[in-house]
Structures are given as structure tokens and as C-alpha cells.
Amino acid sequence: MKQELKGDFEIRNQVLLSVRPEAQAFLKTRLITRRLSLGQTLYDDSEPFTHAIFPHEGVISLKAEMSDGRSVEKASIGHEGFIGIALIVGGGGAISRSAVMVPGYASWLSIEDLDEAIASFPCVRDAMLRYAKCLIIQLLESVACNSLHSAEERISRWLLHAHDRVVGDSFQLTQAAMSQVLGFRRATVNMVCSKLMEIGAIEYSRGDLTVLDRELIHQHSCECYGRIQKTFELNMAPFIRTEKPN
């Protein structure tokens, strides 16, 4: 397990920020916060859950893996959500391998502490269920997007989501990883990234990507980005609390 972060850290996870202050104060005493490393596997497919994981920064990919070794992304999760939906909707193990695509940091909460939090603070379960609804809508939108939209539109949308989930404009991301999670040939990813570089939207060098002009990326994305963001704005944003718990 990765080394625990010591001292104060910024809680950026929107599920944690949307619970009542007393619940947030309780959770903060039970959370174990660690860095997320590029390529790190958090859970394997069917592995029993021991913790819910709440990202604060970075991108985690839920992957569908085929028997021939191929894999593709089912969904991605950042500071808007958590790993462990099954813990609140019937139990069971992980339904996908979850792997870190963009480094950052996240908080682990044991099943025992989660059960205690839910029993003591109904707002915790409510917040997790609101996110579960958003994740289902994201999955449904992605099915349509994968069928209807071009590689350029889908790659641009993925970059916008990644940018939303990090602090600042630069983050680690390899073209090989993008081609794997999106199901494109690496040449296709390289062609789209080269075009975005040529128009001044991004800068990319040796696995480090910098967003230079977000609006340009948005112009090359599909409408699915806005539709998914609207879902989170309606279901999560109104509940986020900016005040810090005592």
C-alpha cells in the first residue's frame, strides 16, 4: 500500500464535501489519504472491497478486460466520485479493474468506518447515492458517444474530463494509455494530439500534457461533455459545502 500522506491536505472530493459538517468531521478522522501513482491498480475485477476510495485529484479508469488481453475503459472517476458503488447498492466485489490513469491522491475509508458513518449520518449514504446516479448517467452517455462521435471528439472530451480532475493545467498522461482506455490505435491518438498541438490547444512532451487553451479543446469535443457535466451540476454541485468542519 502506498505511503500515507501526513499533515493537512485539501479535501477536494465532491462526495465528501457534500455531506454535513459533522459528518465530514467524523470522516476526516477515519480517512487514510495516499498518493495515486500512474498505472497503480486499486482493485482487480471481482476483488472484494475492503475500502471505499475517494479521489481528490487524478483520474481512475474502470476497465473492461477481455480474455485475449485487450481492455477498454467503461468509465472514469475523479474528485466527483468514489470507487466502491457496490458497497451501497447490494454489496459484492469490484465489477472492473480500477487503475490510475492520471496521478493524484485519494482517501481510503474502511468498510467498517463507512458502515458506521452511514448509520450515524444519513447524509453520507445520500451523497454516495447521488453520485451513483451520476455515474449511471455517465455510462449511458458514453455508450451513445462511443457509437456516434469521432475519435477527435471522444479524445477531446476525455481530455476535458481529465483537466477537470487535476489541480493546474499540467498532468502526466501517455498516449499509449489513452489508446488503451479509449480503444483507439496509438496512431489515431497521436494524430488527434498532434492536431490539438498544432492549433495551440495543448502541449505534449514525454508523457506530460499541458492544457494551453481549454476552449479550443472544447470546440473539438462532442456535446456529451456538456451533458455529463450538467448531470453533475444538477445532482452534486448544489450540495457541496465550502465551510470547513470544526
Assigned C-alpha cell, 143: 455508450
**Helix, strand, coil content of the chain in percent (nearest 5):** 45, 25, 30
In this prediction, residue 244 carries a pLDDT of: 55
In this prediction, residue 5 carries a pLDDT of: 67
In this prediction, residue 243 carries a pLDDT of: 54
* Angstrom distance (rounded) from CA 135 to CA 55: 15
Topology annotation, domain 150-221: Arc Repressor Mutant, subunit A (1.10.10)
Can you say how many angstroms the Cα of residue 27 is from the centroid of all Cα atoms in its chain? 20
- The CA-atom distances, in angstroms, between 242 and each of 28, 56, 101, 122 are 15, 15, 28, 20
Tell me the residue type at 72. Answer: V
- Would you say domain 14-145 falls under CATH 1.20.120.1200? no
- 103 with 36: CB under 8 angstroms? yes
The full set of domain ranges for the chain reads: 14-145, 150-221
Counting as low any pLDDT under 50, the low residues of the chain are 1, 245-246
Nearest CA-CA partner of 60 in 44, 31, 82, 45: 82
- 81 with 15: CB under 8 angstroms? yes
In this prediction, residue 1 carries a pLDDT of: 43
Same fold, 14-145 and 150-221: no
**pLDDT digit string (tens) for 171-193?**
999 888 899 889 999 999 999 99
* Angstrom distance (rounded) from CA 42 to CA 4: 15
